[in-house]
Amino acid sequence: MLQLDRQNLPSSDELPDSDDTPVDNEDQNFLPNLLLFLLEYIWKNRDDWYFGVDMGIYHTTGFSPRVPVVPDGFLSLGVERRKGGKSRRSYVTWEEKDIVPILTLEIVSHTYGGEYEEKLEIYRKLGVQYYMIYNPEFWRRDRHLPLEIYKLIDGFYQLQSGEPYWMPEISLGIGRCVLPSDNLCREALSWFNQQGQRYITPEEKSELLAARLRELGEDPDLL
């Protein structure tokens, strides 16, 4: 019966990449894309991961495999960086060796989207190991913390403590910060190493190198 069901499942070419619901604040695009761009730099020599932004995850644990869940961001390990050398239209678990994301991120906005109830239950059933809810503006309204990280333990999510929070299964930590290069001084999410040090952006690295060269009396523009 399981084999018959799989044969009748739609392909990724038949499925859209998101629910086409517009975001209602810029952070829902800025923050997950920042995490993606940092991973492109941190894991530039790896091709066994995929980070999706506002992309539909199609799975068979819901009431219909044609109805996706669409997190603001998600990370999968053990999959092709570019599936078949091409960009994904959506993330279809039955075309990804049944590998579900190890991490999902939801950013709470003015329009409440059930992040603490419905989506938490969807990710629990799906088997997502880490579920993160970032709620910088409305956490008092929702009676939660600005950043909550849940880990799947014995089939249920348990709220974790500590920030940046280290995830050994991913070999990354995550936490809040303000990037020195951001003139708007926006709070952001970033990756951290095991020692709690933030991974800097390529732009920051270039600025640090330029400052060091100036200290040595060299002109960085001539390099």
Q: Are 53 and 33 in contact (CB under 8 A)?
A: yes
- Which of 3.10.50, 3.90.1570, 1.20.58, 1.10.15 is the CATH number of 9-222? 3.90.1570
Residue 113: what pLDDT?
A: 78
Domain map (residue ranges) of the chain: 9-222
Could you give the C-alpha distances from 161 to 40, 82, 101, 131, 167, in angstroms and in order? 27, 34, 21, 13, 12
Residue 8: the pLDDT is: 72
pLDDT in tens, 129-176: 999 999 999 999 999 999 999 999 999 999 999 999 999 999 999 999
d(CA 119, CA 150): 12
pLDDT at residue 11 in the model = 75
Low-confidence ranges of the chain (pLDDT < 50): 1-4, 222-223
Give the model's pLDDT for residue 87: 92
How much is the pLDDT for 47? 96
Distance CA 183, CA 34 (A): 15
In angstroms, rounded to a whole number, what is the distance separating the alpha carbons of residues 166 and 175?
A: 9
> pLDDT at position 29, please?
85
pLDDT of residue 34: 94
Single pTM value for the model: 0.86
